[in-house]
Amino acid sequence: MADAAVAEENAEGAMSQKVKEELEVLTNTERAAVITLLLGEQQAADIIRFLNPREVQALGAAMVSVADLSQETVNYVLDDFVVTIKAQTNLGLGNNDYVENVLKRALGDDKAATVLGRILPGASSKGLEILRWMDARSIGEMIREEHPQVVAIILSVLEFDVAADVLGFLPAENRAEVMQRVASLETVQPSAMEELEGIMKEQFSTSSSAKSSSMGGVPTAAKIMNFVKVDMENAIMEGVSNLDEGLALAIQDNMFTFDNLAAVDNRAIQVLMRNIENDQLMTALKGADEETKEKFLGNMSQRAKVMFLDDMEAKGPIRITDVEIAQKDIMRTARKLSDSGDLVLAGRGDDFV
């Protein structure tokens, strides 16, 4: 009898370790997937209605991946969820209508519309939301014959990587002008919004705001270009430069730069280092900030690091133009590796940190 009790205790201990291991690798999205699976179909569907397309895709994938979790782990996730909910207050549980009404009372309709257009995506033109559920090919085929200004507005409201893919389905001769117009956008006048409604027909909201909407601009154009394939990027940027050289330079200044590599994970840095020459990296790091230098040096063995720094010091002063060329060449390699899926450039399409 005592042996049976000991065996049961050992089994419980082993199971606890298994639960611990499962929980350590469980992401927040997977935890949300567990809770969603515990709900009835109708309740789960009601929740998913409030998610954007990317969130739906991530949650759906997670719901598949957690199917084999142990019951003990599922119970723990549920208990943790209940504890979290109990700790919540009513703050932040309101809806967008409350925020909209408060701002309108405080600022008036015109100013409130401008603020809401920035903090509540789709608040001023809800009809555009349907684009977020369409694939790049469908969007490209729908707008390829439209005026470049209309196309620019549509690209500006899409996810940056989707917008980059849509560019690939547009006529090559139109891409540069479209990107020039994206970079030049600041506000969209009612006439342009009416033209958009005509393109989307009944799918667009007939009550979309008759006020200017803020969208586009150089940062948006740069983020879209961060996702464009390297070969297409060169042709587009050359075309934009021919149309407006200053604007092309502004876009390039806002694109993913060499110093942004400091935000890339170590695995990606190691992949990149295997695809560039040491001499090229030494030259590039001469003009890099300390954080970027440490990112590369931190991915070398101690012995390789000492040798690298000695060789780098021996190179002596290097012209700034040579540094810039080396950095651009390395970024070109990084972009090609990113395009082929060999590494992920954190920040392509996101704000850089």
Angle between helices 278-285 and 290-297 (to 10 degrees): 160
| Measured distance CA(349)–CA(16) in Å, rounded | 41
Top mean pLDDT of 17-26, 121-130, 175-184, 214-223 is at 175-184
Can you tell me the distance from the alpha carbon of 68 to that of 219, in angstroms, rounded to the nearest whole number?
43
**DSSP single-letter state for residue 123:** S
pLDDT of residue 202: 44
Mean pLDDT for the stretch of residues 318-345: 81
CB neighbours (10 Å) of residue 64? 10
pLDDT of 166 higher than 80? yes
Look at residue 298 in the predicted model and tell me its pLDDT.
Answer: 92
3-state secondary structure of 316: coil
Q: 92 falls in which pLDDT band (50, 70, 90)?
A: very low
Residues 6+ apart with CB under 8 A from 260: 345, 347, 352
Provide the β-strand partners of residue 213: 188
pLDDT of 338 higher than 80: no
250-293 pLDDT tens trace: 887 777 778 888 888 888 899 999 999 999 999 999 888 899 99
Euclidean distance between CA atoms 293 and 332, whole angstroms: 18
pLDDT at 300: 92
Residue 283 has which token pair? 């030259």
Domains of the chain: 2-87 (no CATH), 123-254 (1.10.220.30), 258-339 (1.10.220.30)
Average pLDDT over residues 134-158: 82
What pLDDT sits at residue 12?
46
Half-sphere exposure of 24 (CA within 13 A, CB side): 6
pLDDT of residue 294: 92
Rounded to 5 degrees, φ, ψ at 214 are -85, 130
Instruction: Give yes or no for residue 58 having a pLDDT over 90.
Output: no
pLDDT at 303 over 60: yes
Compute the distance between CA of residue 2 and CA of residue 14 in angstroms, rounded to an integer: 18
Banded model confidence at residue 2, pLDDT cuts 50, 70, 90:
very low
Residue 262: the pLDDT is 86
For residue 130, is pLDDT > 90?
A: no
> Hey, how many other C-beta atoms are within 10 angstroms of the C-beta on 213?
25
Top mean-pLDDT range of 88-102, 136-150, 188-202, 206-220: 136-150
Distance CA 242, CA 224 (A): 19
Q: What whole-number distance in Å separates Cα of residue 178 and Cα of residue 225? A: 12
Reduced to 3 states (helix: H, G, I; strand: E, B; else coil), residue 217 is: coil
Whether the CB-CB separation of 165 and 136 falls below 8 Å is answered with yes
Angle in degrees, CA 146, 148, 152, rounded to 5: 110
What's the CA gap between 156 and 143, in Å, rounded? 13
